Each structure stands twice: as C-alpha cells, then as structure tokens.
Chain A
Amino acid sequence: MPRLTDKARYWMLVLPALAIMIIFYILPVLGIWEISVTEPDFGFGNYVKMTESNAVKTSFILTFRVAAITTIGCLLLGYIVAYTISNFASRLTPLMVALVLLPFWVSVLIRSFSWIVLLGRSGLVNDTLRDVGLITSPLRLMHNETGVLIAMIHVMLPFAVLPMLANMRGISRSYTDAARGLGASEWTAFRSVYFPQTLPGVFSGALLVFVLSLGFFVTPALLGGGRVLMISEYITYQIQEFLAWGLGSALSVALLIATALVLLVAARFVNLKSALLERH
C-alpha cells in the first residue's frame, strides 16, 4: 500500500461528513429543480403558472413583509438587551444571559403553542381583558398577521441578541470614555461613537433573522391558522392538498433563489464568514 501524504489523511477525516452531506442533502435539494421542470410536464409550465398566479404574488409579498417586520422588531428589542448585558455590569448579568438562552433552547412548537394559549379567541389575554371589563367581545389576536408577528419576534429574538452580544463583547470602553471625557453627552457618545461599532453585530443578527424568517414554517402555520399563508406553508399546501409537486417545487426553487439573493446582497454589508461559519 502506498504511503499516504498527511494532506490525504486529513481529507480522510473530512470526507465522510462531506460525502454524506453532498449525497443525501445537496443532491436531493438540487433534485427539486429537476422536479420543477418535469412534473407534470416537461418544460417551464410551473414557472409560468407561478408568475401568473396572484395568490403566489400575495404570498411572496406577505413573506417578505413578515420577515422584514420580524427583523426590525428583533433588532430593536434585541439591541436594548444586548447593550444592557454588555455595558451595565451587575450581579444580574448572568441571569439576563440565561433568560435570553432559555427560550432559545425551548422547542419552537412549544413556544408557538404558548402563544396560541395566550392569543386565542378564548385565550388568556382575551379572557383577562374581558374579566377586567375592558372588552365585551374577544379581540382577534391570532389567525392574522399580528399574531404571527408577535410569535415570530418571540421565536427569532435570541438569534438577533446572540450575534450582537458577541460583537459588543469585543468593543473597548475606552472610545466612549474618551468621547465622554471630551464633553460628549452619554447619548451623543452612544450615537456617534458606540453605535457605529456595533453595526457588524447588528447586520449579522439582521441577516440571520431575515433568512430564517423567510423560510419559516411552524410558527406562521400555527398562529396564522391557514389565513396567513407564508410561502413555506403555501408550498406544503400545494403538495398536500393538490399533490402539485411540480408547482410546489417551482415555488421552492423561487424561495431558494430569494434566500440566495438575500445572502448575496448581505455579503456587501456583513462578513458572511464570521456571521455564519464562526458563530458560537
């Protein structure tokens, strides 16, 4: 047997995982492109149907809107938490970190279920408001975009906080201290000295939340109750109700391309390598 070079030996460590990923994951996902042009007939019929359908257009617009609002909400709320954790050291800081991590580890299904319990027609929020006498008929808090957005922000928030925290840990206090020493107010020092340094963290948080929200299925499906059809649910609907594998695949390809485009655009603002490969 010929002696292997060191490099070949290292490749032998890499190959099993890489081969399994390519054979059982990458190829099947690429296979979707094939289904989209072969079922039910060969050609671009599914794509024509897709671009002509108003329902598809509505679903795509809704998906991007929900993802955008979720991202903005997560950034605003997440920034406040990340900033407080990294700048106002107190005995309670580890508790704050734990409170961010706790929901992160709890199943998305359970978190969505909690929101159903809270926001339903006879949910806890409606019942309480009625018992207090603030409302006479229940408010519609779920099975609409409001409910989906509340639960989506809840589910995605840790994904925004964690990259921002990692970024803020690396920012030295001396810059803001210098600004303060030169007479800037606390607010000015924050706005013109601290905030710009946190942008890399803000952008990676935004990218992560936006990309995950675009393809999210569980929470919109449960809180939307079939009325807020984001594109992922629209795809399963086509496949499970109409067995329209071709159209479902064409929509999947469109969703994949949309995700890839978002990543490409983001690459101009975010260091993708540190945002995705070196995440902790």
Chain B
Amino acid sequence: MKTSTFRIFFNTGAWLVLAFLVLPLLVVVPVSLTDTSYIGLPKEHLSLQHYESYFTSPEWLHATWTSIWVGLAVAAAATVLGTAFSIGCWFLSDRAATIARWVLITPILVPPVVQSLGFYRFWVKLDLIDTYTGVILAHTLLALPYVSISVFAALANLDRRIPQAARSLGASVWQTVTNVVVPAARPGMLTGAVFAFIVSFDEIVGVLFITVRAVNTLPKVIWEGIQENIDPTIAAVSTFLVMITLAATAVVVLRRRIA
C-alpha cells in the first residue's frame, strides 16, 4: 500500500505530539548542569555543583528518604487492604460489592484541595496533624483506588469455576483465597503497589494541608523551592527523578517485548 497523505498526517502528528510530551521533561537536564546560581542554561562551562548541593543537603536528603519510606509503607498498606477488598468483591460480585467498589474509587474523582480540607479538619480532631502516621494514612486512602482497580483488572482473567472447583474439592475459603485467587491477582497487586508508591511519592496538596514543620516530603521541599526562590538544585533533583523514571519505563517496555 502506498503511503497516503492520511497516513503521513497521522504519523507526523503522532511524533510531534510525543515530542511535545517528552521534550519538556528533558529541559531539566541542561539546566541542572548550569554553572550559574539561577535557572538557565550553562554559561561558560558545565558544573555538577547543583548535584553536589542536593547530595550534601541534609534537608533535601532527609525529604527524599522520608518520601521513599512513607511511599513504601503506603504501598504495603494499600496493597494488603486493596487486594483483600478486591478479592472479597470479586467473590461477592453483587450489587452491594459494586457500590463498595464505587466508594473506594471516590478519591480519584474528588478534587485534591477539597479532600485535603477534609483531611485537615479530621486530622486536627485525631491529633494526626504533622505526624508520619497522618501522612501515611492520608496517602493510603488516596492509593487504595489504584490498587483496587489493578487487582480487579488482574482478576478479570480468572475463571470463576476454578475457585469453585477448589471449594468443592474441600479447600476452605481461606485456602482458596491464598492458593488460588491471590496467585491470579499477583500481577495486579504488583502494578497496584507501584501505583500506590508513586501516588504517595508525588502527593503534594494533602501534605501541604496536614503537615507543618515536623514532616517534610520531597514534593513539599520542591514546592517550597519553586515558590520561594527557583534554585537550580530543583533541576538537579528533577533530572535525577526523570532519569530513574526513564530507566524504569525502558525496563518495563523491554521486558514486555521479550515476554
């Protein structure tokens, strides 16, 4: 088939749009190497000073570790709760279970500022303001929808007759869940856990409302950095994170290609 204008239009258009999606992410790379103390391209020579200030700043490092371990805690909590939830709903699959699933995905639809306002007022009552428990709890709630959607997607491929067969052969409900359903849900649990970690690692609005000084996450330090003085350290941090994401995306795509 000869190449039609139709085809050329879509192909060129798609690559242009993809360039629009990806290229802006890469501007942080040259900016992070600037030899100046403000945001801009390197003037005379390349410099690693902004990476140095990131890796030697107690504030930035502390915030990074906080985000990482809070993210891991959120991923663990949300994956356990969300998986149990989805498996239960999958077995029940009645009207009540569908309503429960709608309840669990509300955080996707409610505007971040509105839910953060709700968190603030409730966390004050519970004395959870500016505590790690408060942040982990808030982020777990925000991550639950993603875990439940992923696990449900994985269970969509499981034939309902398989757990029924296990039950009729004498397995208990608990044995059926752990030996039959959980293995089938595993890919969804993994995706869900990754989603949960990223939701927590990225979350800013809630953290701005429910923390003061004691808890500093990486997004909060970036946010304050952008608001106060745009310091090229932010570009170094951004480059670092974009490169990690790039590597992770590459691994996922290559693995899928081989599989």
Interface residues of A (CB under 8 A from B): 6-7, 9-18, 20-22, 24-32, 35, 77-78, 80-81, 83-85, 87-88, 94-103, 105-118, 120, 122, 124, 127, 154, 157-158, 186-187, 190, 211, 214-218, 222, 232-233, 235-236, 239, 248-249, 252, 255-256, 259, 263, 273, 276-280
Contacts and interface: CB of A to CB of B under 8 A. Distances in A.
A252 B117 CA distance: 9
A152 to B, nearest CB: 13
A124 B108 CA distance: 34
A77 B20 contact: yes
A177 to B, nearest CB: 12
Nearest to A190: B6
B84 interface: yes
Interface of B is mostly: helix
B: contact size bracket:
35 or more
A101 B249 contact: yes
B226 A113 contact: yes
Interface of B: 4, 6-7, 10-11, 13-14, 17-18, 20-22, 24-25, 27-28, 31, 39-41, 81-82, 84-85, 87-89, 91-92, 97-98, 100-115, 117-119, 121-122, 137, 140-141, 144, 148-150, 152-153, 156, 173-174, 177, 198, 201-202, 204-205, 219, 222-223, 226, 230, 234-235, 238, 241-242, 245-246, 248-250, 252-253, 256-257
B91 A10 contact: yes
Nearest to A124: B27
Contacts of A124: 27, 31, 41
B257 to A, nearest CB: 6
Interface of A is mostly: helix
A83 B91 CA distance: 37
Contacts of A32: 114, 117-118, 121
Contacts of A11: 88, 92
7 contacts: A80-B14, A88-B10, A88-B11, A96-B18, A98-B249, A105-B248, A232-B111
Contacts of A95: 253
Contacts of B110: 29, 215, 256, 259
The 8 A-B pairs with the shortest beta carbon distances in the complex, nearest first, are: A215-B111, A13-B88, A28-B118, A84-B14, A14-B88, A17-B85, A28-B122, A80-B13
Given A98-B253, A214-B111, A17 B104 contact: yes
A214 B108 CA distance: 12
Contacts, number: 260
Given A106-B241, A110-B241, A259 B40 contact: no
A215 B106 CA distance: 13
A278 B152 contact: yes
A158 B118 CA distance: 28
A77 B25 contact: no
A17 B144 contact: yes
Contact of A114 (B28, B41, B111): B28
A205 to B, nearest CB: 14
Contacts of A115: 24
Contacts of B24: 111, 114-115, 118, 154
Contacts of A249: 117
Given A102-B246, A103-B21, A217 B113 contact: yes
Given A16-B81, A31-B122, 6 more contacts: A25-B106, A80-B17, A88-B7, A98-B250, A215-B111, A218-B205
A187 B4 CA distance: 10
B205 A35 contact: no
Contacts of B105: 276-277
Given A88-B11, A117-B39, A103 B226 contact: no
A52 B118 CA distance: 25
Contact of A235 (B6, B22, B113, B242): B113
Contacts of B204: 108-109, 218
A274 to B, nearest CB: 11
A197 to B, nearest CB: 16
A256 B25 CA distance: 32
